[in-house]
Amino acid sequence: MFGWLRFIALGTAAAAAAAAVTAVAQDALVPIEVVGNGIPTPLTAQPGDPARGKQVVTDATNATCLICHNMPDLPEQPDQGNLAPVMEHPGSKYTAAQLRLRLVNPKLITPDTIMPAYYRVDGLTRVQQQYVGKTIYKPQDVEDVIAYLLTLK
Ligand code: HEC
């Protein structure tokens, strides 16, 4: 008879546990300062490595850009997506600061975008279990990807 009460109690405990996980990860995030249409300050002291950034971008196991974007600079990559604009010459079109904001949280640019926020853990919907409380990219991944995209002029 009180089964539903137990259900609510369990649900609350699960929500509290999830909130705790998020809180820990959130504290651990590098502070982000948006200025204008970008994030000018790199997330890491170590400069981005373009070669490693290319590896991150083509890592099919980690929400790769290629699921949605076609990248003409990577013709050897199979199964490129067409859910997003073709990513052509990003190094000529965008500054590092603009790419950083786009990667960290594209919803600040396009509120209803389908593009994932690669460095954000709160305010997300339909997060896959393995990503709950975690960011998709680590700070160095963000910087390495930016460094790679800037080479594509
Ligand atoms: C799930 C689909 C998806 C994934 C994955 C994705 N994007 Fe996007 N991206 C979009 C969509 C859709 C847009 C169009 C504008 C918008 O909705 O924000 C976009 C826009 C962009 C833009 C601006 C392009 C323009 O012409 O306005 C850049 C730059 C970009 N994405 C980079 C990336 C990078 C780099 C990655 C991988 C690290 C990535 N995206 C992963 C869907 C995606």
Which amino acid is it at 31?
P
CA distance 145 to 57: 7
**Of 131, 113, 110, residue with least CA distance to 122:** 131
Q: Is 106 exposed, middle or buried (0-12, 13-18, 19+ CB in 10 A)?
A: middle
- Coarse DSSP helix, strand, coil percentages of the chain, rounded to the nearest 5 percent: 45, 0, 55
pLDDT digits (tens, 9 = 90+) for 13-34: 445 444 444 444 445 788 889 9
Q: Among candidates 104, 98, 112, which has minimal Cα distance to 31?
A: 104
- Give yes or no for residue 63 CB within 6 A of ligand 1: yes
| Res. 120 pLDDT band, cuts 50 70 90 | confident
Between residues 100 and 17, which one has the greater pLDDT?
100
Q: Amino acid identity of 63?
A: A
pLDDT of the residue at 74: 96
pLDDT of residue 27: 52
Question: Whose Cα sits closest to atom 42 in ligand 1?
Answer: 115
Q: In the prediction, which pLDDT does 126 show? A: 76
Q: What is the mean pLDDT of residues 81-106?
A: 96
Residue to substitute in 65, 100, 119 for testing ligand 1 pocket (most ligand atoms within 8 angstroms of CB) = 65
For residue 134, the model assigns a pLDDT of 84
Instruction: Determine whether the shortest distance from the Cβ of 115 to ligand 1 is under 6 A.
Output: yes
Residue type, 12: T
Atom of ligand 1 nearest to the CA of 63: 5
Please report the domains of the chain, with CATH numbers, ordered by start residue.
3-151 (1.10.760.10)
pTM as predicted: 0.83
| Tens of pLDDT, residues 61-93 | 988 999 999 999 999 999 999 999 999 999 999
